[in-house]
Amino acid sequence: MASDYDGVLAPLVDVPSEAVPQPGAAEALARLAAAPGVTVALVSGRGLADLQRTSGLTGELRWIGSHGAEFDGPLTGELAERRDALAARFADLVAGTPGARLEVKPAAVAVHVRQVTDRPAAAALLAAAGALVDPSLTVKPGKDVLEVAVTDADKGSALRRLAAELGAAGVLYLGDDVTDEDAFRALGADDVTVKIGEGVTAAAHRVPDPAAAVQLLEFLADALA
């Protein structure tokens, strides 16, 4: 059982560090992780350290960060240098748009425009940032954010890797954003994919919001019990 964090287990907020888990989420995940034969994984675009610190979640969980780039540990020095060079290219661009924020992650740089009140300016900033990206980088657009990664890892390949490692009979994945579509498309007909919220999706199922996602997890925990 794998899930994205922001927008699924925690409501989307303007300040990422304030994205606390939806009430009941921690308890439901703990119950699922304790069920025989079940592995629970968090699969996020956040860096692993940020994900663990912000969520406050503990217990028998598998952690996959940076869209799968942080699977067995932090990035190598060479990739970190490429990330820092990319951040320097974006810094002046972001500074010129009030409300915009530059986030430097372990494997990527993200331009956030959720707090930009001038929406045309927000769209222009994302377009300008995208124009600076060269073919060696991986663009991961999202909700009011453009993330540019220095690796080609994605949530779908990370989930397949984890499932193979575990010898999993099936995978359930919950996601809400554009980058979660990689996971939905990567999973097979015997797996279960759930989109949280509105929007076009490759997922087979949908629930409206994080509160409903927690209800789904509680239903599963009850069934397994």
pLDDT in tens, the chain (225 residues): 999 999 999 999 988 899 999 999 999 999 999 999 999 999 999 988 999 999 999 999 999 999 898 886 666 678 888 899 999 999 988 999 999 999 998 888 999 999 999 999 999 999 999 999 988 899 988 889 999 999 888 999 999 999 999 999 999 999 999 999 999 999 999 999 999 999 999 999 999 999 999 999 999 999 999
Could you give the 3-state DSSP secondary structure of residue 147?
A: strand
Residue of 4, 144, 154, 182 with catalytic role: 4
Domains of the chain: 2-71+153-224 (3.40.50.1000), 77-149 (3.30.70.1020)
Query: Helices (DSSP H) in the chain: which residue ranges?
Result: 25-34, 48-55, 77-95, 119-131, 155-166, 180-186, 210-224
Res 73: pLDDT: 65
Q: Catalytic: 118?
A: no
The pLDDT assigned to 219 comes to: 98
